[in-house]
Structure 1
Amino acid sequence: MTDYGMMNYIEPLINHGPFTEEEKNYVYDWIMKNQNHNMIRWEHLQLEILKEYGKFRLRNDLKTIWNTKKRQRSRQSSVEFSLSPLNEVDESIYTL
């Protein structure tokens, strides 16, 4: 492990605990309001989380929360598309 990686575990300010639902929702809302051309300033979000919740979260942890949400949305929309009425067969064309 690199010295930088080791510092992440030694540094007492870093919160490695799970995110609360409130924190997750804050991350989602903040990104939706502040992303610019699909660019997210993770360092700004990191500081906002610290101000709002008093927790110092690693940028990588914030990215993981966001990317997990994006994957869930993608899966959900693909499932909804496959279940949409456009994909259903019109059975009336098969009846006499």
Structure 2
Amino acid sequence: MPTHNAVVKASVGLHARPAALFVRAVTETGLPVTISKEGGPGVDARSLLQVMAADFHQGCIVELGVSDAAVRGPLGRQEAEDALRALGELLESQGAA
């Protein structure tokens, strides 16, 4: 399963605007991305309500993942890894604040 860890940098965490920007970016990937706190259960990162309810606060380390079933071959795996990296960069950028 391709995964990527990132730190939520938005001062309000993943609430309201930062969460909406993140969910929109996830949806644009076309991948079934999950987001979770370290060691916690994942939620569907395409769902604004699930992302906001999970309380990803500023400084929270999150794991982004895509199931192996959603990845098709080595090219698909590379695309998934690239998408997760870009989503992690969004969470860590000031633009998500």
Identify, as 1 or 2, the structure richer in helix: 1
- Give the shorter-chain TM-score range: under 0.3
Identify, as 1 or 2, the structure richer in strand: 2
Whose relative contact order is higher, 1 or 2, with alpha carbons under 8 Å and at least 6 apart?
2
- State the TM-score, normalizing by the size of structure 2: 0.27
- State the TM-score, normalizing by the size of structure 1: 0.27
